[in-house]
Structure formats: structure tokens, C-alpha cells
A and B are shown apart, each in its own frame.
Chain A
């Protein structure tokens, strides 16, 4: 042991000095490098991990939003188709109703026209009757002024009038 100490000039003071040197290195490296650096690295790792988690969450959210959007679009398209179908059905029904109403209106107009015609015909016949009766009466009066008695005259007039009425009324009806 003594020879080792002599050969290598081992000096406890130098050993302590080197221990102090190393203690300074340990302290300086720990407080100025290792502690802050490992802290910074850990913080950065945590930030990166959080960012990755957030990015994954955003991705999931985006995917869900896209799915929801597609669902809404599909639903809207389906609703639109249903609305169009319903509109078509309604339009057809409305068309039928309108046609039916128009038809009904036409029939009504025709019926009213017929009635009007009938009324006019009746009125005309009555007028004609009156005029013809008057004419016949006048003519018969002139022709048969001396021959005919009053009851015969009236009976003939009535007969002529009936004949005229039947003939004219049939013509008028057939024209209408």
C-alpha cells in the first residue's frame, strides 16, 4: 500500500480537491443542464402527446360531423323526394277536381241554357198563339163574317190555334 502511495504520489488533499471538482460538476450539470433539460423534454413530450390526442379527437369529431352531414343530406333528399311525390299526387287530385268542377259547371250552364230556351219557347209559343189566334180570328171574321155564327167561329179558331201550336212548337223544339 505504501509503495502504491509513493509510486503514484497519492495525496489525500489532491483527492479531496478532485472530489470538490467533481461535486461542482455534479451540481452545475444537475442544476443548469439535467434538471431544466429533462423538465423541458418532459413538458415537450407531454405537449406532443396531448397534441396527438387532441388531433385524434378532432379527427374523430370531424368524422362524426361528416357522418352527420351525410345523414342530414340523405334525410333531406328523402324528404325532398317525398315532398315531390306528395306534390305530384296532390296535383293529380287537384287536376281531377278542377276537371270535375269544370265539367259540372259546363253541365250547369247547359242545363240553365236549356231551361232558358224552354222558357223562351214557351213564351214564344204563347205569343205566337195569341197572334195567330188574333190573325185567324181576323181572317175568319172577314171570310166568314156572314156565314159563321159566333160559336162556330170560336170553335174553328180554337181548332186552328191548336194545330198551329203543335206544329210550331215541334219545329222550335227540334231546332233547339
Chain B
């Protein structure tokens, strides 16, 4: 991690992304897999992706408060668009949950996820993000550090979002199916406890084979929960980071016109990835809040 940036270190610069130079003493800009630190605030290392996240959060807060102030029973202007988005989001959620009441329970988690990821994805495409920054002296080399970076192009962000989403599914599962039901989904204590009754009372000898299999399936599901976090976070990070690399590469090949189709592609990718993340979270929430027997 780097030290706080001093005034003389900061120098506004506009450098094409992914521009690299191997010659010593020359300005170097490499597209890194990680977000570059740009300073510290109260002991917290602030990366360019974190700064972008704060901008996204600020943007959402301002728009939300303004929308709330102008909200009325007879919609006008921005409220119309907002209502259409929320209505369509609810309709989409209904197609997964099958019930408006359930959709309304999950909406406070899924809708902000979609909006936050979408804005983060799109903000990374804006001119200046990744190309405006400062030059830092690092071991005799002059490194260009962008001030902003698409926040979903940082694994810390996507990992945080994925962790939050999966933890939320578990919390909802405990609330919806009780802690005992939640525990048996993974550990299968009820399968072990009911085994003597099934064998000696009900004479179901197949339980001797089936219940241990179910028990191990539960353990596999536990591993699956970790896989959920990994898949959600790496999918989003990989797509957005790849998009940024692609745009940088196109800009290096020919800076004018050529990146435009890819910009449109990335706009679509931004929507799709936000939608995939939100929909998968919704599906996980739906599966985890139904009882284990029902979900099978």
C-alpha cells in the first residue's frame, strides 16, 4: 500500500488506458488486476475503486433524496421512470418468487444491488475514469495512477457484494424456515436423529443408505455456499475488468471511433452483469427461504 499522496505528487494527466512503456524514466501505466491506492483516510487505504464507490453512493443518495422530496401520488418527470423501473423489477421478481408478497420482501436487497452494480459498471465507462490521475514516483519509475476506477473492476467490491448477498440469503433462510430448518439444510442433524426411528419403528431400511447420502449432500451444499460467493464475485469482476481491458486495448490500437462499438457493448454488459448478479441473488434468496424438502 502506498503512503498518503502529497500535493506535489498529484499531477493531472490524461493517458490512454493500458498504455505501457518499458523504457526507464518514462511514464508507465499498466492496467492492474487490483485497485490502486490513492491515499488514506483515518487509517483506511482509499483505492480509486473505493473513491468511485463513494461517488456512486453519493449519486444514489442525492437522487434518492431528491426523488423522495418530489414524490407525489400523481407522478411526473423522473418519478415516472422510477415507477416504471420499480414496477418492472417487481414483475421480474414475481416471475422468480411467484408471489408479490415475497418479491416485496426481497426487493430491498435485490433492487439496490442492481442499481449499485449498474451505476458502478457504467461509471467505469465514463471518460476520465481510468485516464485522469496522478503520477507517482515508484522505485525510479514514474507510474500513472488513475484517480478513478470502475468499482466493480475491483475484486474487493464484488467480493463484498457477493458476501453480503450470500449472508443475506442465510439470514432470510433462518427467519423464514427457523434455525433448526436452516441448520438441517447443511448439517442434516435431523437425518441422523430420525435414522433409528425409521429403521426400528417404521422398518424403512432404505434410510440406512439414503440418510447418510443426504447428510453428505448437505455438506456439499455448505461448500456450494462458498462457491456462490466465488462465482458471484469473480463473474462480475471478470466481466467488468475484461471490458475495461478491452476498451483500453481498442484505444491503443486506434483511439478514435474504434472503441465506440465496444463502449456500447460494455454498456450492455454493464446492464446484463448487474441483472445477473441481482437475479442470482433473488434466486438464492428464494431457494433458501423455502424449506429444504420443498426446494428438492
Contacts and interface: CB of A to CB of B under 8 A. Distances in A.
Interface of A: 7-11, 13-19, 21-26, 28-30, 32-34, 36-38, 40-41, 43-44, 47
A11 B71 CA distance: 40
A86 to B, nearest CB: 62
Contact of A25 (B75, B115, B155): B115
Contacts of A40: 71-73, 75
Q: Which of A13, A18, A19 has the most CB of B within 10 A?
A: A18
Given A14-B50, A40-B71, A32 B160 contact: no
B282 interface: no
A170 B134 CA distance: 164
Interface of B: 33-35, 44-45, 47, 50, 53-54, 56-57, 60-61, 64-65, 67-68, 71-73, 75, 79, 82-83, 86-87, 104, 107-109, 111-113, 115-116, 151, 154-157, 159-161, 163-164
A14 B41 CA distance: 12
Given A14-B156, A37-B83, 8 more contacts: A7-B34, A10-B156, A17-B50, A29-B111, A29-B112, A36-B68, A36-B71, A37-B86
Given A13-B45, A25-B57, A34 B108 contact: yes
Contacts of A25: 56-57, 60, 112, 115-116
B164 A19 contact: yes
Contact of B160 (A19, A43, A47): A19
A41 B160 contact: no
A18 B50 contact: yes
A26 B33 contact: no
Nearest to A24: B57
A37 B112 contact: no
A91 B147 CA distance: 111
Nearest to A12: B156
A32 B67 contact: yes
Q: Which of B60, B111, B112, B116 has the most CB of A within 10 A?
A: B112
Contacts of B164: 19, 22-23
20 contacts: A8-B155, A9-B34, A9-B35, A9-B155, A9-B156, A10-B155, A15-B163, A24-B57, A25-B56, A29-B64, A29-B111, A29-B112, A29-B115, A30-B112, A33-B67, A33-B82, A36-B68, A36-B71, A38-B104, A41-B87
A17 B44 contact: yes
Contacts of A11: 45, 156
A28 B64 CA distance: 7
A28 B45 contact: no
A130 to B, nearest CB: 123
A75 to B, nearest CB: 47
Contact of A32 (B47, B68, B111): B68
A47 B75 CA distance: 14
Given A10-B155, A21-B54, A32 B65 contact: yes
Contacts of A23: 164
A15 B157 CA distance: 6
A37 B82 contact: yes
A30 B108 contact: yes
A24 B61 contact: yes
A169 to B, nearest CB: 117
A83 B112 CA distance: 80
Contacts of B107: 34, 38
B112 A26 contact: yes
A14 B163 CA distance: 13
Contact of B44 (A13, A29, A32, A43): A13
B144 to A, nearest CB: 18
Contact of B156 (A18, A24, A41): A18
A144 B148 CA distance: 182
Contacts of B67: 32-33, 37
A21 B108 contact: no
A24 B65 CA distance: 13
A28 B111 CA distance: 12
A34 B93 CA distance: 14
Q: Which of B64, B87, B113 has the most CB of A within 10 A?
A: B64
Contacts of A24: 57, 61
A29 B60 contact: yes
B197 to A, nearest CB: 42
